[in-house]
Structure 1
Amino acid sequence: MKNTEVTQEKILDLYSKYVLRNNKKPLNVFTFCDDHEISESEFYFYYANFDQLEADYLKYFMQQSLLLISNEENYEEDDAKTKMLSFYFTFFEQLTINRSLVIYLIGSDKNNLDNLKKLWSLKKEFQQFIRSLDISEPLMESQNENMAKMERFKNKGIEELYWGHFLTTLKFWIEDTSSNFEKTDIFIEKSVDTSFELFEIKPLKKLIDLGKFLFNEVKNK
């Protein structure tokens, strides 16, 4: 019987089940749609090809995570660090639920450029979230043009630093073998805490604490 409603979530679900069962992409869009009794036009309404669909997965998880935390009670009153921790814990909980799929998409070869491209589709979403936290310095009307350029450069640097932190956390989670990925939770808490301490110019104690944690992880491996 033909599916009565074909949504983006339905296509993502069907595709994820296919690749996890077969460990490869479908032969083409026609066979994928025919096997699942949906029309090609319904597939193309959301995606031009399988590569675009795969690149959309992590962005979809991020959007769902941001939606979940924004609906939390008192979220708007939370400070920036609390919001960031809430996002990280929620996002990686989403990834853990779908870990087999995420490993298929990006975990088989972390140095493969095609796999890394799948991460860049969510960069814009992530940096918009960082901007919403107001970590960056606001531009003042009284600033001259050179000062304004310096502040924009600094703010962009903060966004890039947190993007790098996000990718580092993702790599840590992929390689985490601890029970219930509890070491990823520890890494998130320590590294986010350290990053905010750095911006408050109180880095040493937290930086040493994070360094000890990472040193022990490397030594144990």
Structure 2
Amino acid sequence: MSVEAVVFDIGNVLIEWQPERYYDRVIGEQRRRAMFAEVDLHGMNDLVDQGHHFTDTIYHWAEKYPQWRDEVRMWHDNWIELAAPAIPHSVRLQQALRAKGIPVFALTNFGVQNFDYATTVYPFLNEFDRQYVSGRMKTVKPHVPIYEMVEADCGVPPHALLFADDRIDNIETARARGWQTHHFQGPQGWADRLVTEGLLSPDEAT
């Protein structure tokens, strides 16, 4: 089946997202493990992805755990250090596709305020033909409604979308809706898939 548009997840596809790595570096692995066992930081982040206010949500969460207040606030205050670095090869693939006139969309679980902030640090986030950001849409992957909203908006039939995501549950929902999918495990595999689909030449995919 021919591909009419390519859909990129962002976290761990275009930008590394490894909060545990940040905390291991800043407070040490032992303290990080203790904090993550006690404080549901990923649950907190899920609220932001669903559209809750970035600052208000994290600062409120921090007050619930006074013994970890400063560390929880780091998720907000030093957020760009958690969402780093960019994955250069993936960024080149995004830009190569657009240079050939192939529509490129983002479909990402991301909060409103921190996505806007990220676009000032990573200019390539402004280079999508369409941005589907969960915080704006008030629904997240892997739940069906966000995929339905993409289909209704983009004008491309599901079977003509090629979607790369690092999380298999997000891939499975897309596949069940008829999307073509790629489980992202590194940029070289994604590059190879784009070449196999005839979207990029081997030179363009380097």
TM-score, normalised to structure 1, is: 0.25
Question: Per residue, is there more strand in 1 or in 2?
Answer: 2
Larger RCO, structure (CA 8 Å, separation 6 or more): 2
TM-score, normalised to structure 2, is: 0.27
Question: Per residue, is there more helix in 1 or in 2?
Answer: 1
Bigger radius of gyration: 1
